Amino acid sequence: MSDESMSGGQMPLTGAQQTTLGQPVELPLDGWLYGYTVSPECGVCKALDRQFAEAEKHKDHRAMYQAAAEIRNHPHDGKQK
């Protein structure tokens, strides 16, 4: 049995061949993950906005997402935002 037939028709990799991709790609998901609109007359939204700002200051991405998600999902006038 030849090397070619054992490897599914491809030649085995040698030490000089690159087997991984280059540098990781960072996708700009901030707007999608952290986007929200504060209702100016809502105390809950304002408090969550302050929590978001504090989490952002400490680069706590989990807390940032949680605050943003709570603001987005916080009901106003019987509606979900």
Is residue 18 domain-resident?
A: no
Is residue 66 domain-resident?
A: yes
Is residue 14 domain-resident?
A: no
Which has the closest alpha carbon to 59: 30, 17, 35?
Answer: 30
Residue with tokens 């807390």: 63
- Mean pLDDT (10-residue bins), the chain, 81 residues: 53 62 73 87 95 95 95 76 45
pLDDT of residue 71: 94
Q: Are 33 and 56 in contact (CB under 8 A)?
A: no
pLDDT of residue 13: 57
The parent domain of residue 45 ranges over 28-81
Is residue 13 domain-resident?
A: no
Please state the domain count of the chain.
1
Is residue 70 domain-resident?
A: yes
